[in-house]
Amino acid sequence: MRLVPRLTAALSGLALALGGVVALAPAAHATPQTCFYTVLEQHPEANPEVVERACTNVAAALGAPGGLRACYTELRRDYVPAVLAFEACRRAAQV
């Protein structure tokens, strides 16, 4: 009967470990390219040059406090929906 508690503990530990990996996965893939493709996949009418400039600028201005705001503003000027613009810029800033 000691096998059941050990197996339960092992499976619980595995589930927690995998949960941590899944929680970190979005941050591991956060790049200006992810920002770019996220916007163009969900809003194909967006100007690719504007999206590329906004996504790369926020990544380059990582230390600047207004980088995320500048990216968001630039995407909103190109009529990208607000939620999509914020999420894409936030992903680019996590480089």
Q: Taking the CA atoms of 66, 92, 46 and 81 in sequence, report the sign of the dihedral they define.
A: negative
Span 19-67, pLDDT tens digits: 554 444 444 455 788 899 999 999 999 999 999 999 888 766 665 667 8
Quick check: 43 and 86 in contact, CB under 8 A?
Answer: no
Quick check: 80 and 46 in contact, CB under 8 A?
Answer: yes
- Give domain limits for the chain: 1-25, 31-93
Number of DSSP helices (H) and strands (E) in the chain, helices first: 5, 0
State pTM to two decimals: 0.63
State the pLDDT at residue 57: 82
State the pLDDT at residue 28: 45
